[in-house]
Amino acid sequence: MIRFQVRSPAMSKRFKAAILGGSGYGGAEIIRRLIQHPDIELVRVASVDAVGEPVSSIHFSLEGQTDLRFENLAPAAAAKGMDIVLLGLPHKVSAQKVPEIIATGARIVDLSGDFRLRDAAVYKRYYGAEHPHPEMLDGTFVYGLPELNREAIRKAKYVASPGCFATTIELALLPLARAGLLEGPVEIVGITGSSGSGIVPAAGTHHPSRSNNLKTYKPLDHQHIPEIAQILHAAGAKNLALRFVPVSAPLSRGIFATSFAHVDEKTTVEQLKALYADAYKNEPFVRVPSRRLPEVIAVKGTNFAEVGIQIGDVYEGRRAVACFSAIDNLIKGGAGQAIQSMNLMLGLDERLTLQDTGGTP
């Protein structure tokens, strides 16, 4: 059952929002949730595509749900008078636009990777360009993972929303890092759906080649590797070496990650299970299933994440732990998490418009 809270059109809403880059899959998710938000009025959707056309001309599910149209607006014009601006722009584009938005006084949630990293040299290595504003990488943006930075997000004016793979993998490994148990090499395989590649058609997302195929891409060199390492080190991981292989799968949406870690042999099975149960027992959007391991179908179409572990044998003083995690890449890995942070930044219940539980297969 969907639990969106909708007010009468006659009732004024407390905050105004704009979206820059609203024509993609993530933009569709943001729009559909904000037009039903009890406290947010979505005022503008800026895009360089389909300018002047109704948003439903690209996002068919919004037919009859809103009168909004795509507008070709400069960042300052889009942000003028707004309480918050959500950026669904590509990497390397957001960084160019942000200073102009900051000048308007609006809060920002950026869904790109442009402000997640703290090191400009690492940004250049993984994103292939010099950062135009390296001075803003030193704490201007709060990293928008509520399960890690909830209180900092509440106080933030600018939030860098995490990557989809990064969200999935960090949620799986954070309990170990926080407990000081995550050390040394961690091998990860992450399987992702085609929507993560964006709305623009490409050979890698073309249905005939995608629907019956599995293939890796950017093995050991994905741009989320330094993001994950940065967050886990800050949380308490020691001497961490991440080896991540992403896999393109015949799914339209969803991510499933398996992270292989090793802990000291003195750590018991009971301690590890309790560690994960305690870490997420009060989190509104992270579940640790008690009778099964995580699955994509359980979180598809929702802002929920699932995390689980399987504990293995001891070898040479180290106990193997396989950490499993699943999210919907467009929601908890994108638009939903951005809205969760937006809610926190505006002093609202972080669950607003995000409590729907998906549907059947």
188 and 176 Cβ atoms separated by less than 8 Å = no
Q: Closest Cα to residue 322, out of 207, 183, 173, 221?
A: 173
32 and 62 Cβ atoms separated by less than 8 Å = yes
323 catalytic residue (yes or no): no
Give CA–CA dist 45/30, Å, rounded. Answer: 10
- Alpha carbon dihedral 349, 144, 196, 178, in 10-degree steps, equals -110
Enter the tokens of residue 30. Answer: 């943001």
User: In which residue are the tokens 């949620």 written?
Assistant: 171
Give CA–CA dist 86/105, Å, rounded. Answer: 14
Q: From the candidates 164, 255, 335, 346, which is the catalytic residue?
A: 164
Query: What are the CB-based long-range contacts (under 8 Å, 24+) for 121-129?
Result: 122/226, 125/226, 126/221, 126/223, 126/225, 126/226, 127/91, 127/92, 127/223, 128/92, 129/92
> CA distances (Å), 19 to each of 46, 113, 116, in order?
6, 17, 19
Question: Could you tell me which residues come within 8 angstroms of residue 115 by beta carbon, excluding any fewer than 6 positions away?
Answer: 94, 95, 98, 136, 137, 140, 141, 158, 160
Q: Closest Cα to residue 283, out of 207, 208, 175?
A: 175
Q: Which residues are annotated as catalytic?
A: 164
